[in-house]
Amino acid sequence: MEGQNSPTPSSLPPNNMTPPFLFTPSLDPEIDWISLLSTAQPAGFPSAENNIKPIMELSGSTNGVVLDHEKGNNNNKDKRKSGGRIKKATRPRFAFQTRSADDILDDGYRWRKYGQKAVKNSVYPRSYYRCTHHTCNVKKQVQRLSKDTSIVVTTYEGIHNHPCEKLMETLTPLLKQMQFLSRESESILHRLRDREAARLTWCQLGVHESSNFYKGNLSSWLEKNCKYNRSRMSNQPPWCIVFPFVIWLTWKHRNNVVFNNQLAQSSIHKDALFQALEFQHCGLSPKVVGSRKVVHIRWEKP
């Protein structure tokens, strides 16, 4: 069974999704929290399509069910090796509650259901899913509360090692629009990569003129850069995060110049880097202590 599409941060290209209503998790007696919070790492933000105004809360609290870094550290499972005390390593797991009519939430990745079992003190079973990407071992568990049937508890294990499918799907119609609007004297690849202004932007982000970055057709060029997980400069997010923001802002800026008569700007690299850093630290690191923040957002069709 496969899920779905991806959540999109405020700095990504807009889409038709509406994030869910998130609130601070609390312990519920009908959830087997001990088995639910035994391993893994956060896999990203949830997103579900519904008609309520979303309120997103990023929580770094170690109370309740948000994080469980110390699970297993105090259960007398310490091991001794070469006279030193070695603690048994455990992987933290990120759990949250979402108010949604659908059990399968839209988190941007595709999943396959591989199991289901009954849970003590609950009329709803717990379902187990695995990411369908062949190199990814991320799993998630989904269970609806019987006490409040509008709430779904989702727990992620691990971190995805591949680009978000929804991001690639979002780029596809964008590229079609670019093809339609492109002038004969300016191809898509020329606008995004080979034009002098574009080359300056890439250079400011750490791309060397003599590198293989400027080789290949449009499709292979986009795919290669969206999968490049290293940073090109120190203190930069991975290139697979920075690159899509540059693509989006470059085309958005071009539209403003052509259709809104705005002046050309040379700060695309700064804006893209800022939004990529914001996404990395706020969107991909919800467990950071002190990162709790309530943000009222609303998605609309562009």
The domain tally of the chain equals: 1
pLDDT of residue 255: 77
Measured CA to CA, the distance from residue 235 to residue 272 in angstroms comes to 14
pLDDT of residue 154: 87
Answer yes or no: is 51 within a domain: no
Answer yes or no: is 132 within a domain: no
pLDDT of residue 115: 92
pLDDT of residue 292: 58
Q: Which residues form the domain of 224?
A: 165-281
Answer yes or no: is 245 within a domain: yes
pTM above 0.75, yes or no: no
Tens digit of pLDDT at every position of the chain (302 positions): 444 444 444 344 444 443 443 443 444 555 555 454 443 334 444 443 443 333 333 333 333 344 444 444 444 444 444 455 666 556 567 787 888 888 877 777 888 999 999 988 888 999 999 998 888 888 899 999 888 888 898 888 888 887 777 776 767 666 665 655 554 455 788 888 888 888 999 999 999 887 889 988 888 899 999 998 888 888 888 999 999 999 999 888 877 877 777 787 778 888 998 888 888 777 666 555 555 566 677 776 66
Measure Cα distances from 17 to 166, 172, 252, 284 in Å.
11, 16, 20, 19
pLDDT of residue 10: 39
pLDDT of residue 242: 92
Measure Cα distances from 92 to 12, 132, 299 in Å.
28, 22, 31
Answer yes or no: is 239 within a domain: yes
pLDDT of residue 37: 44
Answer yes or no: is 210 within a domain: yes
Answer yes or no: is 205 within a domain: yes
What are the φ/ψ torsions at residue 116 (nearest 5 degrees)?
Answer: -160, 140
What are the φ/ψ torsions at residue 31 (nearest 5 degrees)?
Answer: -105, 130
Measured CA to CA, the distance from residue 164 to residue 121 in angstroms comes to 36
Answer yes or no: is 198 within a domain: yes
Answer yes or no: is 196 within a domain: yes
